[in-house]
Structure 1
Amino acid sequence: MNNTRISFLGPSGTYSEQAAQMWCDDCQLLSVDSIPSVAKAVTDGRSDIGIVPIENSIEGGVTFTLDLLIHDSDLSICGEIVVPINHNLMSKNALSFSEIKTVYSHPQSLGQCREFLNQNLPNANLIASLSNSAAVEEMMNTSDNSAAISSGQAAKIYGAKILMKNVEDRSNNETRFVVLGKLDHPKTGNDKTSLCFEFQGDQPGILSESLTEFASRNINLVKIESRPNKKNLGRYVFLVDIEGHRTDEKVNLSIEALSKKVAMIKILGSYPKFI
C-alpha cells in the first residue's frame, strides 16, 4: 500500500473521495467534514496532500475553495484532476415524485440539478448539506418523504434506493479538483500556474493592461474569475490560470512585471495540466 495520506471532503461516497481514488488508488484516505479541514489536515501533518473541488462545468467556481486559497491557506496547488459527475435522486424507499417533500444535497449539486428540480419537484424543500454523502446520511435518518441527490457509490454505501439516474441538467457535467500540498510540483513541460492578485484602486483599463504582461510574452491565459476581497464592497481579487510553470523564464518575468502593477499578488501553485 502507498504510504501517501490524502485528506478529502467526506464522508465516504463523495465525489471528492472518487477524485482521491483516481489520483492514487492505493493511498491512505482521510475523510474530513469540510473543505477548510482538508487543508488543515495537510498543514497539521495528518495528511500529505488534500484534494478539494475548485470548479464545476455547470455551476462555476467553488467559492469555499477559492476563498480558502486566497485568504486562509499557504498550501500550494500541486496537481489537478477532472471527475465526471453523475447525480442520482435517491430515497430510503420507492417514492413517486409527488411524495417527495424534502431533498438533501450539497449546494453545488442542487445548483447542477436546478432545472430537474424545478420541473419535477417544484414544491420540495431543498436542504443544503456539507457534502453529497452527508446528504444521504441525513436523508436516511429523516422522514420517509425525503430524498437526496448524490453519487451511485453513496447509494450503495448507505443503502439508499435510486429513483432516477443522471438528474444533472447537463450531460457533460464535470468537476475539476485540485491537489493541495506544501510544495509545488516540479516542472514537467506541460504545466499550469494559478495565481491571484488585487489592485490598489479602480481605474479604466487596469485589468486589461495588467493581463498584457502574459499576452506580450505569448503566455496563454486559460481562466479568469473574481471574488470579493471581503474588505470593501465592489472590490475584488482576481484569480487566473496561465499555461507554464512559475520557474519558466517568461512566466517568472510576467509575474514580476504584474507584481509592480498590483497591491497584492499570491502564487497559488504550479502543477501538471490534466486537461
Structure 2
Amino acid sequence: MTDVKSKLAGSVQGPVGYLGPEGTFSDEAAQAFFLPETPRRPYSTIPMVYEGLNRWEIDAAVLPIENSIEGAVNQTLDALIENPGLFIVGEIILPVCHHFLVPPDVDWTEVTEVYSHPQPLAQCRHFLENRLPNAQATATNSTAEGAKKALQVSTAESPKGAIASEFVAKTYGLEIAVRDVQSRPNNKTRFVVVGRQLTEPTGNDKTSIVCALPSDRPGGLYEILREFAEREINLSRIESRPTKYELGQYLFFIDCAGHQRDRKVSEALNAIGRFTILTRVLGSYVRG
C-alpha cells in the first residue's frame, strides 16, 4: 500500500459502502483498498450506494466503473453526474476471474438458468452461448445475489447456476463447475473510491472530467482534445454518454494524466471551458 493510499484509507473512520451483498468484486476491492478494521456496508444497487453517501450513512464508497472486456459501467458514470458534491478520490484495478458455479450435486450441463450481474453475463457470453446454449441468462443486482438465488431456487427438475468469483463460491457454499469462463484472458475491472473531499497532488495522479458541447458540430470534440495534446497531457480514456435529454447530445468523460492543480492540467481545463457548456472535474487521485 503506497503512503498516499495508506493515508487516504486510514482517514476513513466510518463505514465504506459497496455494491453488495457480501462477497462481490466490489467487496473485494473495498477490502483491498481500505484497512482491515474499516467497517463495510453492502447496498443492493449502485444508486443506493450513492444514497448512502448523501445520507452520511457511509464515509466513502467503492464502485466498479470500467471493465477491460465490456467497457464502462454506465450506472456509475450516471451517478457521478447526478451527485456533484461527491468526487473520485482513489482507484483500484482488480484482476477478475469468473467461474461457473452450481449448488452441490448439480450436473452443470443440465442447468436451465444462469444468474449474475449484467456485466459478468456479458463478459462470459461465449461460454454461455457455446457450452449452455439452452440456458436462460438472468440478470441480478450483483454476482453474489445471483449465486444466492441459484442456491435457493435450484431443483432437481430445473437446476440453476451462477457466474461469480471463487470468493462467492466459498462464501455461499457453491461448487465451481467450470473455471475462468470469461471470454478473454486478462480480464480486469477498475473500481473508483468515491468520497466528499478533493485530494492533494502527489506527482502520480490522474484527473477525471466530464464535459458537454453546446451543439453537435464538426471539430467540436477535436477542440477539446487539442488543448490536452498541445500541452502534452496524455489521455488514458475517452467515453461518450447520452445526456438523456435529446437524441444526439452527449457527455464526454475524459481521464488525463496529472492533478487538476498541476499547471498544465489547470491550463487545459480553463481552455476547454471556451468550447463547452459544462466542464466538471469528477476528481483527481493517485493512479491505481
- Shorter-chain TM-score category? over 0.9
Native 8 Å contact 2:223 2:275 kept in 1: no
Partner of 1:126: 137
From the superposition, tell whether residues 139 and 73 of structure 1 become closer, same or farther in structure 2 (CA, over 3 Å). Answer: farther
Q: Could you list the per-position Cα deviations for residues 192-211 of structure 1 after superposition, in whole angstroms to 9, with x for gaps in the alignment?
A: 00000111111111111221
Mean alpha-carbon deviation: is it higher for 20-29 or for 187-196? 20-29
Distance, in Å, in 1 between the alignment partners of 2:86 and 2:126 is 36
- Aligned 1:116-265 pairs, distance under 5 A: 116-144=127-155, 145-265=159-279
Distance, in Å, in 2 between the alignment partners of 1:141 and 1:265 is 47
Distance, in Å, in 2 between the alignment partners of 1:139 and 1:68 is 29
Native 8 Å contact 1:39 1:180 kept in 2: no
Q: Could you list the per-position Cα deviations for residues 166-188 of structure 1 after superposition, in whole angstroms to 9, with x for gaps in the alignment?
A: 11112200000000000122110
Which of 37, 42, 63 is residue 31 of structure 1 equivalent to? 42
Partner of 1:112: 123
Native 8 Å contact 1:94 1:163 kept in 2: no
Structure 1 residue 5, shift from structure 2 partner: 2.1
Structure 1 residue 4, shift from structure 2 partner: 4.1
Partner of 1:76: 87
TM-score normalised by L of structure 1: 0.96
Q: Could you list the per-position Cα deviations for residues 70-128 of structure 1 after superposition, in whole angstroms to 9, with x for gaps in the alignment?
A: 23453100000001111111111333343110000000000110111111011111100
Distance, in Å, in 1 between the alignment partners of 2:102 and 2:204 is 44
Partner of 2:106: 95
Q: Secondary structure of the residue that 2:207 maps to in structure 1?
A: strand
Amino acid at match of 2:106: L
Native 8 Å contact 1:97 1:120 kept in 2: no
**CA-atom RMSD in angstroms:** 1.2
Amino acid at match of 1:69: L
Partner of 1:17: 27
Which of 51, 54, 58 is residue 47 of structure 1 equivalent to? 58
Amino acid at match of 1:148: A
1:67 aligns with 2:78: yes
Amino acid at match of 1:20: A
Native 8 Å contact 1:113 1:168 kept in 2: yes
Length, aligned pairs only: 273
TM-score normalised by L of structure 2: 0.92
Native 8 Å contact 2:211 2:277 kept in 1: yes
From the superposition, tell whether residues 72 and 42 of structure 1 become closer, same or farther in structure 2 (CA, over 3 Å). Answer: closer
Q: Secondary structure of the residue that 1:185 maps to in structure 2?
A: coil
Native 8 Å contact 1:229 1:235 kept in 2: yes
> Unmatched 5+ residue regions in structure 1?
none
Q: Secondary structure of the residue that 1:179 maps to in structure 2?
A: strand
Native 8 Å contact 1:98 1:121 kept in 2: yes
> Unmatched 5+ residue regions in structure 2?
1-9
Q: Secondary structure of the residue that 2:153 maps to in structure 1?
A: coil
Distance, in Å, in 2 between the alignment partners of 1:128 and 1:105 is 5
Q: Secondary structure of the residue that 2:280 maps to in structure 1?
A: strand
Native 8 Å contact 2:124 2:183 kept in 1: yes
